[in-house]
Amino acid sequence: DHISPISDTTVMSSTSTGAGHIEHVETQMAYTLPVIAGVFCAFALVGVLIPYGLYSAAATALSMGVVVTIGLLTALQYVSHK
C-alpha cells in the first residue's frame, strides 16, 4: 500500500500534504524496501527449515526477518546522515 501509485491512501496522503504523487511514492520506498527484503529472507528461510519443524522454522525465520529489516533501516539511516 505504501508504494502503490493507485492506492487511495497514497493519493490522499500526497494530496493532503501538497507533495507530488509520484514523489510521495518514491519517498516511501526507503521505508518499504527494507521490509520487503526482510520478509523475503524470512519466507526463504521458512522454506528451507520447515522439514525441521514448524515452530522452530517460524521462530528462526521471524528473528532473521526482524534482524535483516532493522539492519537495513539502520544502514540506510547511517548512509543518509553522511
Please state, in angstroms and rounded to a whole number, the distance separating the CA atoms of residues 6 and 4. 5
Check residue 1 and give its pLDDT. 67
Q: What is the pTM of this model?
A: 0.70
Q: For residues 73 and 34, is the Cβ–Cβ distance under 8 A?
A: yes
For CA atoms 47, 51, 53, 56, give the dihedral sign. Answer: negative
Extract the C-alpha cell encoding 44.
526463504
| Confidence bin at 66 (pLDDT 50/70/90) | very high
Does the pLDDT value for residue 82 go beyond 80?
Answer: no
Query: Within 10 A of 19 (CB to CB), how many other CB atoms are there?
Result: 14
Nearest alpha-carbon partner for 38 in 75, 13, 81: 75
pLDDT in tens, 17-33: 888 888 888 888 888 88
